[in-house]
A = this chain, B = another copy of it.
Amino acid sequence: MAYRVATLEKLIEQFERLPGIGHKTAVRLSFAVLSMSEEEGNCFVNAITEARRTVHECDICCNLTDTERCSVCSSSNRDEGIICVVEEPQDVIAFERTREYNGVYHVLHGTISPLNGIGPDQIRIKPLLTRVANNEIEEVIMATNPTVEGEATAMYLSKLLKPFGVKVTRLAYGIPVGGDLEYADEVTLSRSLEGRSEL
Protein backbone atom coordinates (compact mmCIF):
# COMPACT_ATOMS: atom_id res chain seq x y z
CA MET A 1 0.00 0.00 0.00
CA ALA A 2 0.92 3.63 -0.50
CA TYR A 3 3.02 5.62 1.91
CA ARG A 4 0.88 6.77 4.86
CA VAL A 5 1.62 8.62 8.10
CA ALA A 6 -1.58 9.03 10.11
CA THR A 7 -0.56 11.98 12.32
CA LEU A 8 0.96 13.82 9.37
CA GLU A 9 -2.24 13.32 7.38
CA LYS A 10 -4.26 14.70 10.29
CA LEU A 11 -2.05 17.78 10.36
CA ILE A 12 -2.42 18.29 6.59
CA GLU A 13 -6.20 17.94 6.99
CA GLN A 14 -6.20 20.63 9.70
CA PHE A 15 -4.28 23.06 7.51
CA GLU A 16 -6.67 22.35 4.63
CA ARG A 17 -9.56 23.64 6.76
CA LEU A 18 -8.03 27.12 6.82
CA PRO A 19 -9.43 29.55 4.24
CA GLY A 20 -7.57 29.65 0.91
CA ILE A 21 -5.32 26.69 1.75
CA GLY A 22 -5.46 23.84 -0.78
CA HIS A 23 -3.96 20.37 -0.51
CA LYS A 24 -0.51 21.23 -1.87
CA THR A 25 -0.10 24.27 0.39
CA ALA A 26 -1.31 22.23 3.38
CA VAL A 27 1.36 19.60 2.65
CA ARG A 28 4.03 22.29 2.36
CA LEU A 29 2.97 23.96 5.62
CA SER A 30 2.81 20.62 7.44
CA PHE A 31 6.35 19.68 6.46
CA ALA A 32 7.50 23.16 7.48
CA VAL A 33 5.90 22.71 10.91
CA LEU A 34 7.54 19.29 11.28
CA SER A 35 10.96 20.61 10.35
CA MET A 36 10.86 23.39 12.97
CA SER A 37 13.34 23.17 15.82
CA GLU A 38 12.04 22.42 19.33
CA GLU A 39 12.06 26.14 20.15
CA GLU A 40 10.46 27.31 16.90
CA GLY A 41 7.74 24.69 17.25
CA ASN A 42 6.93 25.79 20.80
CA CYS A 43 6.85 29.45 19.71
CA PHE A 44 4.41 28.59 16.94
CA VAL A 45 2.04 26.59 19.13
CA ASN A 46 2.27 29.16 21.95
CA ALA A 47 1.44 32.01 19.58
CA ILE A 48 -1.74 30.17 18.58
CA THR A 49 -2.86 29.24 22.08
CA GLU A 50 -1.93 32.65 23.54
CA ALA A 51 -3.76 34.57 20.82
CA ARG A 52 -6.81 32.32 21.19
CA ARG A 53 -6.73 32.69 24.98
CA THR A 54 -6.25 36.45 25.21
CA VAL A 55 -7.92 37.96 22.16
CA HIS A 56 -11.55 38.96 22.75
CA GLU A 57 -13.97 41.67 21.70
CA CYS A 58 -13.55 45.24 22.95
CA ASP A 59 -16.35 46.26 25.36
CA ILE A 60 -17.05 49.38 23.36
CA CYS A 61 -16.49 48.76 19.65
CA CYS A 62 -16.50 44.91 19.44
CA ASN A 63 -13.14 44.99 17.65
CA LEU A 64 -10.64 42.29 18.64
CA THR A 65 -8.20 43.17 21.41
CA ASP A 66 -6.03 41.50 24.03
CA THR A 67 -6.40 44.36 26.52
CA GLU A 68 -9.62 45.38 28.30
CA ARG A 69 -10.41 47.99 25.67
CA CYS A 70 -8.94 48.14 22.17
CA SER A 71 -6.14 50.61 21.46
CA VAL A 72 -8.43 52.86 19.44
CA CYS A 73 -11.16 53.12 22.10
CA SER A 74 -8.60 53.67 24.87
CA SER A 75 -6.72 56.38 22.95
CA SER A 76 -7.30 59.99 24.00
CA ASN A 77 -6.50 61.33 20.52
CA ARG A 78 -9.47 59.88 18.70
CA ASP A 79 -12.70 61.73 17.92
CA GLU A 80 -15.34 59.69 19.74
CA GLY A 81 -18.13 61.57 17.98
CA ILE A 82 -17.58 59.74 14.69
CA ILE A 83 -18.13 55.98 14.41
CA CYS A 84 -17.04 54.03 11.35
CA VAL A 85 -19.08 50.82 11.09
CA VAL A 86 -17.22 47.93 9.43
CA GLU A 87 -17.91 44.25 8.89
CA GLU A 88 -14.68 42.65 10.13
CA PRO A 89 -11.60 43.46 12.27
CA GLN A 90 -9.50 43.28 9.08
CA ASP A 91 -11.40 46.33 7.79
CA VAL A 92 -10.18 48.35 10.80
CA ILE A 93 -6.60 47.47 9.87
CA ALA A 94 -7.30 48.68 6.30
CA PHE A 95 -8.68 52.03 7.54
CA GLU A 96 -5.81 52.51 9.99
CA ARG A 97 -3.36 52.02 7.13
CA THR A 98 -4.78 55.11 5.37
CA ARG A 99 -3.68 57.29 8.38
CA GLU A 100 -6.57 59.59 7.40
CA TYR A 101 -9.30 58.54 9.78
CA ASN A 102 -9.30 59.84 13.33
CA GLY A 103 -12.68 58.68 14.61
CA VAL A 104 -13.54 55.41 16.32
CA TYR A 105 -14.93 52.13 14.94
CA HIS A 106 -17.68 49.61 15.41
CA VAL A 107 -17.11 46.07 14.18
CA LEU A 108 -20.28 44.16 13.25
CA HIS A 109 -18.57 40.75 12.81
CA GLY A 110 -20.58 39.97 9.69
CA THR A 111 -23.53 41.24 7.71
CA ILE A 112 -27.22 40.51 7.75
CA SER A 113 -27.64 37.63 5.33
CA PRO A 114 -31.01 35.84 5.53
CA LEU A 115 -29.89 33.27 2.92
CA ASN A 116 -27.12 32.14 5.29
CA GLY A 117 -29.42 32.34 8.30
CA ILE A 118 -27.71 35.42 9.74
CA GLY A 119 -30.23 37.89 11.13
CA PRO A 120 -29.72 41.24 12.91
CA ASP A 121 -29.26 39.48 16.26
CA GLN A 122 -26.29 37.39 15.08
CA ILE A 123 -24.11 40.46 14.44
CA ARG A 124 -23.14 43.32 16.82
CA ILE A 125 -26.01 45.72 16.03
CA LYS A 126 -27.41 46.06 19.57
CA PRO A 127 -24.12 47.30 21.08
CA LEU A 128 -23.98 49.93 18.32
CA LEU A 129 -27.51 51.16 19.06
CA THR A 130 -26.77 51.32 22.81
CA ARG A 131 -23.58 53.23 22.04
CA VAL A 132 -25.36 55.79 19.85
CA ALA A 133 -28.20 56.13 22.38
CA ASN A 134 -25.90 56.75 25.37
CA ASN A 135 -23.18 58.94 23.86
CA GLU A 136 -23.00 62.14 21.90
CA ILE A 137 -22.40 60.80 18.41
CA GLU A 138 -22.36 63.25 15.48
CA GLU A 139 -21.91 60.88 12.60
CA VAL A 140 -22.00 57.18 11.80
CA ILE A 141 -20.14 56.19 8.63
CA MET A 142 -21.41 52.99 7.03
CA ALA A 143 -18.28 51.27 5.77
CA THR A 144 -19.69 47.83 5.04
CA ASN A 145 -18.58 46.16 1.81
CA PRO A 146 -20.17 47.20 -1.50
CA THR A 147 -21.87 43.79 -1.81
CA VAL A 148 -25.56 42.93 -1.69
CA GLU A 149 -25.30 41.95 2.00
CA GLY A 150 -23.13 44.94 2.89
CA GLU A 151 -25.58 47.33 1.22
CA ALA A 152 -28.61 45.74 2.87
CA THR A 153 -26.94 45.91 6.29
CA ALA A 154 -26.03 49.59 5.76
CA MET A 155 -29.62 50.43 4.73
CA TYR A 156 -31.09 48.50 7.67
CA LEU A 157 -28.75 50.16 10.17
CA SER A 158 -29.34 53.66 8.81
CA LYS A 159 -33.07 53.21 9.34
CA LEU A 160 -32.47 52.13 12.94
CA LEU A 161 -30.04 55.00 13.61
CA LYS A 162 -31.95 57.94 12.06
CA PRO A 163 -34.45 58.20 14.99
CA PHE A 164 -31.49 59.04 17.28
CA GLY A 165 -30.94 62.22 15.23
CA VAL A 166 -27.49 61.14 14.15
CA LYS A 167 -26.01 61.82 10.70
CA VAL A 168 -25.57 58.53 8.80
CA THR A 169 -23.22 58.52 5.81
CA ARG A 170 -21.99 55.90 3.35
CA LEU A 171 -18.54 55.50 1.75
CA ALA A 172 -18.30 56.97 -1.76
CA TYR A 173 -18.60 54.65 -4.73
CA GLY A 174 -16.48 55.30 -7.76
CA ILE A 175 -13.58 54.25 -9.91
CA PRO A 176 -10.61 52.94 -7.93
CA VAL A 177 -7.51 55.15 -8.01
CA GLY A 178 -5.02 53.81 -10.54
CA GLY A 179 -7.75 51.83 -12.27
CA ASP A 180 -8.63 51.91 -15.96
CA LEU A 181 -12.01 53.30 -17.08
CA GLU A 182 -12.08 50.79 -19.92
CA TYR A 183 -12.31 47.91 -17.47
CA ALA A 184 -14.67 49.52 -14.93
CA ASP A 185 -18.03 47.77 -14.74
CA GLU A 186 -21.20 49.70 -15.69
CA VAL A 187 -22.58 49.94 -12.16
CA THR A 188 -19.36 51.37 -10.72
CA LEU A 189 -19.04 53.80 -13.60
CA SER A 190 -22.61 55.07 -13.32
CA ARG A 191 -22.22 55.41 -9.52
CA SER A 192 -19.01 57.34 -10.13
CA LEU A 193 -20.89 59.63 -12.53
CA GLU A 194 -23.70 60.22 -10.02
CA GLY A 195 -21.21 61.13 -7.32
CA ARG A 196 -19.13 63.49 -9.47
CA SER A 197 -17.80 66.64 -7.79
CA GLU A 198 -16.84 70.09 -9.09
CA LEU A 199 -13.16 70.76 -9.77
Contact = CB atoms under 8 A, between A and B. Distances in A.
A3 B45 contact: no
A10 interface: yes
Contacts of A47: 7, 10-11, 13-14
A85 interface: no
Contacts of A159: none
Contacts of A77: 1
Contacts of A34: 51-52, 55, 64
Nearest to A63: B3
A158 interface: no
Q: How many copies does the complex hold?
A: 2
Interface string A174-185: 000000000000
Contacts of A2: 71, 96, 99
A187 interface: no
B32 A18 contact: yes
Contact of A7 (B18, B32, B66): B66
Given A27-B93, A31-B90, A71-B1, A45 B49 contact: yes
Interface in A11-52: 11, 13-14, 17-21, 25, 27-34, 36, 40-41, 43-45, 47-52
